[in-house]
Amino acid sequence: MIQLQDISVQDRPELYQPPRRDVLRLPVIGRILKHRRGRLVFQVPLLLLALLLIYDGFTGPRLASQNLATVSVWVHYRGFVILALLLFGNLFCMGCPFTIPRTIALRLSRSGRRWPRVLRNKWLAVGFFVGFLFIYEWWDLWAVPAATAWLIIAYFVGAFALEVFFAESPFCKYVCPLGTFNFVASTASPTQITVRDHETCRTCPGKECVKGQPYVLGCGTELFPPTVRSNLDCILCLDCARACPYDNVALAIRTPGRELTDANAWPRRWDVSFLVMVFAFAAVSNAFGMVPPFYELQAGLAASFGIRSEAILLLLIFVTLNLALPGAAGLLAARLSQLLSGKREPMRVSFCRFAPAFIPVAFAIWLAHYGFHFATGALTLIPVMQNFLLDHGLSWLGTEPNWMLGPLVPGNWILPIQTIIVLAGFAGSLFVGRRIGERDYESPAAGIRAMLPWLVVFLGLALAALAMFNLPMEMRGTINMGG
């Protein structure tokens, strides 16, 4: 159980900025969000959808492009997630249906064990995130409806089991690959939890926002609102707002990505910075898995090393691209940054300094990639739903699925839009990097010199992404056939 003495409001008023615009003060939306059962408004529909996807995954068409499980998860869910993160914030963690049984488990385990100290970092999250991408590719999750259904079940079981045994929310904070993705991406989002009056929190005796009240849980990931400077680890459950007896918690509208240039927002920790770099490199490698050179690389490796196992080949590629490469690039850039700027400091500090500048370009690459699948396949949901209903004797949406539906926008818009997105992300990384340089170095020249090695990495990521988007990309889950 978290103790009162574990929590303190830093007596640094200069770090605090009262919110100018607060979503929780909006007339209708604010009331819904703060309502005791407000989260269920989002969770229950998604829970029902998850159950429907499990059902169709096991009993529906075996062709992925005709099954609700594969189409909804791999085309629509990913598209909506990235758009929600761009336009609002971590809405999908807020509405996560896996946490409904988790909430029951959490109540059961209030006196349970604390998550082991050795695992209280992002190393495990990095492992699960890369592991998830590996399994997605290895098991062809996008192509196998039943596998997608099993994945959803595994999520429910995993979230419930961990919350039963541990007193906090380790599943969200340290394990969930989707949550990890959302945490990192939400650092660029335009909303953030904060408080209206700093003094109220400083003098608050109960700290209910973290400890909870009899009718509502406190923050599952144990964030204390007045000290929140970043969206990292915030699942936007708003339990803090519901539990606060002073109605002092705010969901502030901020400049997107404001925290990226805030020296006090991110801990200078190896695990957090490495996670951000993995997030950036995985944006490229995940798209790489869908273009022809990936298959050529696989074939080349198989021929060169005589490896026949697809799992080993994929493991080799994924470990190299998602772990070894970001690690090596980060360490090399950090060392060169030290040498070029002449600043003597621990390697950890150099490694972490420019990590936030990865976010804009990485977010842009994910957006361009998932946006491509969404734009090319969003309307596929209509014939798939028509087919589902017809299979169950219902002709509410017509008597014949319209398999010609699929793209949301004309095909010749896609690549120009992707190019603009990647360029905007690259410009964002330059901007964040420059602000960090200005903040941490004595002269502009020193800041530029320090950033140059990182700039090469950003440039490489953006160019690699553009090169891939110019190649034929597999339209997973979007091509309809048969009937």
Partner 1 sequence: MSIRITRLLISASLALAILVVLNHVTSSHGYGTPQRLNEATGPYVLSIWTDPAPLREDETHVVVAVIDPATQELIVSDVAVTVRMQSLDNPEQSYVQVAGPDNTNRLLFAAEFNDQVSSGRWQVGVSAAGSAGQGEEVTFEVEIEPSRGLNWLWIGAGGMAVLLIVWLGSSMHSKPSRKAGA
* 404 sits near partner 1 (criterion: CB under 8 A): yes
Contact between 29 and 447 (Cβ < 8 Å): no
Helix H or strand E encompassing 254: none
Backbone phi, then psi, for 193, in 5-degree steps?
-75, 135
Q: How many residues bind partner 1 (CB under 8 A)?
A: 61
Contact between 135 and 88 (Cβ < 8 Å): no
* 308 sits near partner 1 (criterion: CB under 8 A): no
Contact between 210 and 193 (Cβ < 8 Å): no
Q: How far is CA 43 from CA 67, 154, 256, in A?
A: 22, 18, 25
Of 205, 214, 306, 411, which lies in the binding site for partner 1, with binding defined by CB under 8 A? Answer: 411
- The piece of 119-127, 152-160, 194-202, 471-479 that touches partner 1 (CB under 8 A) is 471-479
Per-residue b or e along 257-267, where b marks 16 or more CB atoms closer than 10 Å to that residue's CB: bbbbbbeebbe
Of 27, 214, 306, 482, which lies in the binding site for partner 1, with binding defined by CB under 8 A? Answer: 482
- The piece of 52-60, 118-126, 127-135, 460-468 that touches partner 1 (CB under 8 A) is 460-468
Residues 49-88 that bind partner 1 (CB under 8 A): 61-63
Cα 11 from Cα 431, distance rounded (Å):
30
Neighbouring-strand partners of residue 193: 251
Specify the residue, 89 or 447, whose C-beta has the smaller distance to partner 1.
447
Which residue's structure tokens are 């059962």? Answer: 37
Backbone phi, then psi, for 123, in 5-degree steps?
-65, -45
Of 13, 116, 398, 444, which lies in the binding site for partner 1, with binding defined by CB under 8 A? Answer: 444
Of 256, 403, 432, 457, which lies in the binding site for partner 1, with binding defined by CB under 8 A? Answer: 403
Backbone phi, then psi, for 194, in 5-degree steps?
-155, -170
* 472 sits near partner 1 (criterion: CB under 8 A): yes
Specify the residue, 235 or 280, whose C-beta has the smaller distance to partner 1.
280
* 300 sits near partner 1 (criterion: CB under 8 A): no
Specify the residue, 111 or 399, whose C-beta has the smaller distance to partner 1.
399
* 469 sits near partner 1 (criterion: CB under 8 A): yes
Residues 349-378 that bind partner 1 (CB under 8 A): 372, 376
**Residue 156, CB-side half-sphere exposure with 13 Å CA sphere:** 13
Site string for partner 1, 263-282 (x = CB under 8 A): x-------------------
Kindly give, in sequence order, each residue whose CB lies less than 8 Å from that of residue 353, ignoring residues fewer than 6 positions away. Answer: 268, 334, 337, 436, 440, 450
Of 120, 253, 407, 408, which lies in the binding site for partner 1, with binding defined by CB under 8 A? Answer: 407
Of 205, 306, 393, 416, which lies in the binding site for partner 1, with binding defined by CB under 8 A? Answer: 416
Structure tokens at 69: 């499980």
Q: Which residues bind partner 1 (CB under 8 A)?
A: 61-63, 263, 290-292, 295, 372, 376, 403-404, 406-407, 410-412, 414-417, 419-420, 422-424, 426-427, 430-431, 434-435, 437-445, 447-448, 455, 459, 462-463, 466-467, 469-475, 479-483
